[in-house]
């Protein structure tokens, strides 16, 4: 027998055996007269993985993205400490002017969101308290207090799906020493 015939014979035997390996339910009904009914069933299973997704600023929906947005305020000399809030610079945040995208998605119940950072924004030994940063909320994405109380999101049918924006501003109610004050806030979402 040639190699070609052996391969062809093997393929025919494998093809003939395949239907024996995977059977769906079948049923045969016979009768001399009247209505005939045959039934067959198929079982389905869908496994949904546990999911907790948090995006603050630049991000990709349901994917990791390492971009950390910068929010910058540059109050003019004539308004320093006058109590008029200062908007962020145009390039600040992924939506610009101090505005960032906020997405929280969980399919394992409610979500708690915390915001932690250093005690204050610092420039050398000088400080500006986090209470000078205000956050306007759009879309139900409650902002937690930095180094304070958490925000909570209640699940509906086991799911939290928040999509909104935060717009940061500098309250400008104090007159700090000259300097460039920096600090980073870490947002942490937790679900049971």
Question: How high is the pLDDT of residue 8?
Answer: 42
Length in residues, the chain: 192
Beta bridge partners of 137: 166
Give domain status of residue 7, yes or no: no
Give domain status of residue 62, yes or no: yes
Question: How high is the pLDDT of residue 13?
Answer: 47
Question: How high is the pLDDT of residue 50?
Answer: 97
Give domain status of residue 16, yes or no: no
Question: How high is the pLDDT of residue 31?
Answer: 86
Give domain status of residue 14, yes or no: no
Give domain status of residue 41, yes or no: no
Six token digits for residue 168: 């940061």
Give domain status of residue 38, yes or no: no
The boundaries of the domain holding residue 111 are: 52-190
Cα 87 from Cα 75, distance rounded (Å): 8
Give domain status of residue 12, yes or no: no
- The reported pTM is 0.81
Give domain status of residue 86, yes or no: yes
What number of CA atoms fall less than 13 Å from residue 118's CA on the CB side? 11
- Domain tally, the chain: 1
Average pLDDT per 10 consecutive residues for the chain, totaling 192 residues: 43 47 76 91 96 97 96 97 98 98 98 98 98 96 97 97 98 98 98 89
Question: How high is the pLDDT of residue 179?
Answer: 98
| CATH code assigned at 115 | 2.60.40
11 Cβ contact list (under 8 Å, min separation 6): none
């Amino acid at each position: 027998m040639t190699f070609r015939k052996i391969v062809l014979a093997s393929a025919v035997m494998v093809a003939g055996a395949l239907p024996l390996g995977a059977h769906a339910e079948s049923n045969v009904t016979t009768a001399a007269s009247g209505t005939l009914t045959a039934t067959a069933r198929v079982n389905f299973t869908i496994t949904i993985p546990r999911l907790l997704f948090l995006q603050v600023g630049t991000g990709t929906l349901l994917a990791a993205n390492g971009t950390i947005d910068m929010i910058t305020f540059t109050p003019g000399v004539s308004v320093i400490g006058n109590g008029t809030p200062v908007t962020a610079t145009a390039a600040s945040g992924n939506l610009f002017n101090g505005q960032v995208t906020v997405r929280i998605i969980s399919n394992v119940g409610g979500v708690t969101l915390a915001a932690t950072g250093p005690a204050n924004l610092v420039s050398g030994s000088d400080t500006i308290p986090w209470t000078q940063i205000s956050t306007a909320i759009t879309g139900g994405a409650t902002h937690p207090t930095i180094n304070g109380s958490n925000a909570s999101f209640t699940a509906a049918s086991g799911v939290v799906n928040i999509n909104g924006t935060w717009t940061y501003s500098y309250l400008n109610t104090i007159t700090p020493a000259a300097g460039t004050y920096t600090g980073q806030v870490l947002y942490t979402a937790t679900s049971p």
